């Protein structure tokens, strides 16, 4: 059986050998054009005139396009308000403003310097506080309420009030935004895009050029990383390349440099979350109030949904009997912030973990005690602030098992002894958890389809709406398909995603790529298998067809459960007969029985009413916990992560090797968000940390010296395909354990004060906090 085994990633060998084909690796055609993008000069202002005369005079420049060249210049996933190219009002500095079509990058760079822009600069809003003061909002969410938070606060023995601040995060995918568009006959376009959402790319391109959706095909073979940054924001860059291809009737290639990509595209949403928490002498939370503010940037993009998920996850793993949770998204003159792995969940979850660390420091308890006391219960204390029950709850089991396996008590005593005896070094220890809801919060996106074609040599092609960005979704679909037919996974090929084969697909996001598309593929496989079992039944019964009488395709009265598919054979479990998989396929083919099928899948039971706080927002929860041990140099603020232990509940894993890879990668990415990845802006709003030399993602020296990852055995998740659970986003939330461990370390020097720590806790931030205690 292929499921549950560590088969290699379907692109493992081609990645190593360099044969994997990404968008910009496609061979240049003889008449192909390159497309460059010029950004806006200021963060806020009005464009009066763009003079391209001098640039157009350069030899090798074929055309320059501005907003007026698009038949429809506005796009947006939720609200169509964002210009593909700046029309007159500038939303943020470096916002795409002009397209330059040229024969090479050198002449495009020269042309950028010759374009003259006349504009009137206006005051810019560049952070959350300024936006709140100016009353600039993208949206306001309906509050989540449970119990009576105000009364419970009033009656609480202890109350803490404060604000949690976390910065944005650059996606830093290895492959920048890239698209190639080939003009075809009759005005059709073939778009190859590094996109997590081929259907949206198809629709935005068609809409921008006033084409029918059927005139545009979007193809995605693979991406060199996405992390949410290519869910929505790949679409308008594809539209830019499409405009050039459509106008000049020549293939057009747009591949941003890393610097241009970083200044032009959105990031993870920075947040500033205000809170009040009431608790008793043991640390039990009695009341919680929060106001979440997310920085949406200049345009709406996916911000309302990201704000929702931040609100859905601010409870973390902990029951809040009395709570009131509000959320608002502010509008600023920064790049339009967008989806990022976790989609608002990390910003909400980390707020609660910070609060719990503060409660522990206030009461002078170990923070594990506070967390364990407040965990969601199994038979009671299991209702979320949005009215969904936490069923099949394994959080207590995870926390208890990890507490033991990580030797938490021993490590805690060692930290205490170390901090008392050592000079110049400081250690901290903390455990945090995650309870991540799996489903798109936009209900209509929880759907997918699959096309499965079985060839008479016993090999199979599968096409779904899932897009491969390195996370292994194709490999898991390959394994699911192989299991369904009882064949070697190497005989299954998952094809490039294309909107002509899989229509109206959802983005590969919300950790649901395998959930939705794998389930659709399985349904399609089962339809074919049912027909093949019928053929095998007739064969085992000695019924042979001839040219005049074909085998029936299906007979509901016949039970074929006695026929098993195993090791590329159809096996009669009653009479101990068998026939090869390929032999059955040939019989089916000669009897004109279909060897292909299409299937549609929608996640059942979903439906959440915000107004009444009723219904089911998520299909299930992926749970986990992490313990991190850190060491700080008190003279430089330098951070080292000495050890991290993670325990994840991923249900019945389809591919444990890929899942453990996703857990480790997500944790490191989350760890980077909270410790090193600082987006630094000039006072003008210009992003200064826009390259690998100025933006610090974690490297191998930053990862934990001891790194233990274990998957919890759990077969209870009947809601999802083959009882598996999603893995893409949830483990990123566990990176917070590094930040709370830093907070724990600082508490040993804070002289009774609660450490005030923003995120990311860079070396400079840590050093400044230590300095404040002197």
Question: Using an 8 Å Cβ cutoff, are 358 and 754 in contact?
Answer: yes
C-alpha closest to that of 661 among 7, 22, 177, 197: 7
C-alpha 297/C-alpha 125 separation (Å) is: 9
Tell me, what's the pLDDT at 575? 81
Q: What DSSP letter does each residue of 419-459 carry, written as one string?
A: HHH-SSEEEEEEEEEEEEEES-SSGGGSEEEEEEEE-TTS-
Which pair of tokens denotes residue 113? 């310097």
Query: CATH for 12-124+177-255?
Result: 3.90.1170.50
Question: pTM here?
Answer: 0.97
> C-alpha angle 739/740/745, rounded to 5°?
100
Q: Which residues contact 464 (CB under 8 A, 6 or more apart)?
A: 448, 449, 450, 451, 477, 494, 497, 502, 505, 517, 518, 520, 521
Question: From residue 304, how far is each of 138, 293, 296, 300, 328 by CA, in Å?
Answer: 8, 11, 9, 7, 9
For 91, phi then psi, to 5°, come to: -90, -35
Q: Under DSSP, is residue 97 helix (H, G, I), strand (E, B) or coil? A: strand
pLDDT given for residue 552 in this prediction: 76
Give the domain ranges of the chain: 12-124+177-255, 271-439+619-771, 443-602
In degrees, rounded to 5, the angle at the alpha carbon of residue 146 between the alpha carbons of residues 142 and 149 is 100
- Which region holds residue 423: left if phi is over 0, alpha if psi is between -120 and 50, else beta? beta
227 closest CA partner among 77, 336, 339 = 339
DSSP sequence for 619-678: SEEEEEEEEEEEEEETTT--EEEEEEEEEEE-BS-S-HHHHHHHHHHHHHHHHHHHHT--
What 3-state class would DSSP assign to 54?
helix
Question: Contact, 132 vs 332, CB < 8 A?
Answer: no
Tokens 């979440």 appear where? 292
Q: Domain 443-602 belongs to what architecture?
A: 2-Layer Sandwich (3.30)
Beta bridge partners of 434: 624
Which CATH code is given to the segment(s) 271-439+619-771? 3.30.365.10
The set of catalytic residues is: 729
159 Cβ contact list (under 8 Å, min separation 6): 153, 276, 277, 278, 279
| Short-list 185, 184, 202, CA closest to 193 | 202
In terms of phi and psi (left: phi > 0; alpha: psi -120 to 50; beta: otherwise), the region of 225 is left
pLDDT value, residue 774: 82
Closest to 360 measured CA to CA, from 352, 351, 368, 350: 368
pLDDT in tens, 455-499: 999 999 999 999 999 999 999 999 999 999 999 999 999 999 999
CA distance 211 to 216: 8
Give the whole-angstrom CA distance, residue 720 versus residue 649. Answer: 14
Q: Do domains 12-124+177-255 and 443-602 have the same CATH topology?
A: no
742 and 617 in contact (C-beta within 8 Å)? no
Share of the chain above pLDDT 90, in %: 95
502, 428 in Cβ contact below 8 A?
Answer: no
Q: What is the pLDDT of residue 546?
A: 65
Q: Mean pLDDT per segment of 10 residues, for the chain of length 774 residues?
A: 90 95 97 98 98 98 98 98 97 98 98 98 98 98 97 98 98 98 97 98 98 98 98 98 98 98 98 98 98 98 98 98 98 98 98 98 97 98 97 97 98 97 92 98 96 98 98 98 97 98 97 98 97 94 74 81 95 92 95 96 95 93 98 97 98 98 98 98 97 95 97 94 97 98 97 94 97 90
Angle in degrees, 0-180, between the axes of helices 656-675 and 345-363, rounded to the nearest 10? 70
Q: In whole angstroms, what is the distance from residue 766 CA to residue 771 CA?
A: 9
Strands 271-279 and 116-121, by their bridges, are unpaired
> pLDDT value at position 548?
59
Cα separations in angstroms, 431 against 163, 381, 670, 734: 21, 21, 15, 9
What are residue 448's phi and psi, to 5 degrees? Answer: -160, 170
Classify burial at 387, counting beta carbons within 10 Å of its beta carbon; exposed 0-12, middle 13-18, buried 19 or more: middle
β 189-193/178-183 pair status: antiparallel
pLDDT of residue 557: 83
Length of the chain: 774
For every residue of 298-320, DSSP letters joined together read SS-TTHHHHHHHHHHHTTTTB--
**Biggest CA pair distance of the chain:** 96
Q: What angle do CA 740, 304, 353 make, to 5 degrees?
A: 15
Residue 575: exposed, middle, or buried by beta-carbon count in 10 A (0-12, 13-18, 19+)? Answer: exposed
76 vs 296: CA distance, rounded Å? 13
φ, ψ for residue 87, nearest 5 deg: -85, -70
């Amino acid at each position: 059986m292929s499921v549950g085994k560590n088969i290699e990633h379907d692109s493992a060998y081609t990645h190593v050998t360099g044969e994997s084909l990404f968008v910009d690796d496609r061979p240049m055609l003889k008449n192909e054009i390159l497309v460059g993008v010029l950004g806006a000069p200021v963060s806020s202002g009005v464009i009066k005139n763009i003079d391209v005369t001098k640039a157009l005079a350069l030899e090798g420049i074929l055309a320059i396009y501005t907003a007026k060249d698009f038949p429809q210049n506005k796009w947006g996933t939720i609200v169509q308000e964002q210009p593909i190219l700046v029309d007159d009002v500038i939303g943020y500095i470096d916002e795409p403003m002009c397209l330059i079509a040229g024969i090479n990058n050198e002449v495009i760079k020269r042309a950028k310097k010759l374009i003259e822009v006349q504009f009137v600069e206006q005051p810019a809003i560049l952070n959350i506080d300024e936006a709140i003061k100016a009353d600039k909002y993208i949206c306001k969410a309906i509050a989540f309420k449970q119990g009576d938070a105000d009364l419970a606060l009033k009656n609480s023995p202890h109350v803490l009030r404060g604000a949690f601040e976390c910065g944005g995060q650059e996606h830093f995918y290895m492959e920048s935004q890239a698209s190639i568009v080939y003009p075809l006959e009759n005005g059709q376009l073939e778009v190859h895009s590094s996109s997590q959402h081929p259907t949206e790319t198809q629709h935005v391109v068609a809409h921008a050029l006033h084409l029918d959706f059927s005139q545009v095909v979007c193809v995605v073979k693979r991406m060199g990383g996405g992390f949410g940054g290519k869910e929505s924001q790949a679409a308008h860059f594809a539209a830019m390349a499409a405009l050039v291809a459509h106008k000049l009737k020549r293939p057009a290639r747009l591949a941003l440099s890393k610097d241009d990509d970083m200044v032009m595209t959105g990031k993870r949403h920075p947040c500033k979350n205000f809170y009040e928490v009431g608790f008793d002498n043991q640390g039990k939370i009695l009341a919680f109030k929060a106001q979440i503010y997310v920085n949406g940037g200049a345009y709406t993009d996916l911000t309302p949904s990201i704000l929702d998920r931040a609100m859905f996850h601010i409870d973390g793993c902990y029951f809040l009997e009395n709570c009131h949770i509000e959320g608002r998204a502010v509008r600023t003159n920064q790049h339009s912030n967008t989806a990022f792995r976790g989609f608002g969940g990390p910003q909400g979850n980390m707020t609660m973990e910070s609060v719990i660390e503060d409660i522990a420091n206030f009461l002078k308890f170990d923070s594990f005690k506070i967390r364990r006391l407040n965990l969601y219960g199994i038979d009671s204390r299991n209702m979320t602030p949005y009215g969904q029950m936490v069923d099949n709850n394994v959080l207590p089991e995870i926390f208890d098992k990890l507490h033991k396996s990580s030797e938490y008590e021993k490590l805690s005593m060692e930290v205490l002894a170390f901090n008392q005896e050592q000079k110049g070094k400081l250690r901290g220890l903390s455990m945090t958890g995650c309870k991540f809801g799996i489903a798109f919060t936009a209900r209509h996106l929880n759907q997918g389809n699959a096309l499965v074609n079985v060839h008479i040599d016993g090999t199979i092609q599968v096409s779904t709406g899932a897009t491969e960005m390195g996370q292994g979704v194709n490999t898991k679909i390959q394994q699911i398909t192989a299991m369904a037919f009882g064949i070697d996974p190497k005989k299954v090929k998952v094809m490039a995603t294309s909107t002509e084969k899989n229509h109206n697909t959802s983005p590969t996001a919300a950790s649901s790529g395998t959930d939705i598309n794998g389930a659709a593929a399985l349904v399609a496989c089962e339809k074919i298998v049912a027909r093949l079992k019928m053929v095998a039944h007739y064969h085992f019964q000695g019924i042979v067809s001839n040219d005049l009488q074909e085998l029936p395709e299906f007979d509901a009265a016949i039970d074929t459960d006695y026929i098993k598919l195993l090791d590329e054979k159809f096996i009669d479990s009653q009479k101990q007969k068998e026939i090869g998989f390929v032999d059955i396929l040939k019989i089916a083919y000669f009897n004109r029985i279909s060897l292909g099928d299409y299937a549609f899948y929608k996640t059942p039971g979903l439906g959440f009413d915000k107004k009444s706080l009723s219904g089911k927002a998520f299909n299930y929860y992926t749970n986990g916990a992490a313990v991190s041990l850190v060491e700080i140099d008190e003279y430089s603020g330098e951070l080292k992560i000495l050890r991290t232990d993670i325990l994840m509940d991923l249900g019945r894993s389809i591919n444990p090797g890929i899942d453990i890879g996703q857990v480790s990668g997500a944790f490191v990415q989350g760890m980077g968000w909270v410790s090193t990845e600082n987006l630094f802006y000039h006072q003008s709003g210009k992003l200064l940390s826009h390259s690998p030399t100025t933006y610090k993602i974690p490297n191998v020296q930053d990862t934990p010296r001891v790194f233990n990852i274990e998957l919890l055995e759990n077969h209870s998740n009947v809601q999802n395909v083959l009882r598996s659970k999603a893995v893409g986003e949830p483990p990123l939330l566990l990176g917070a354990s590094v930040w709370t461990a830093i907070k724990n370390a600082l508490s040993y020097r804070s002289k009774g004060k609660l450490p005030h720590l923003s995120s990311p806790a860079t070396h400079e931030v840590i050093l400044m906090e230590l300095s404040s205690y002197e």
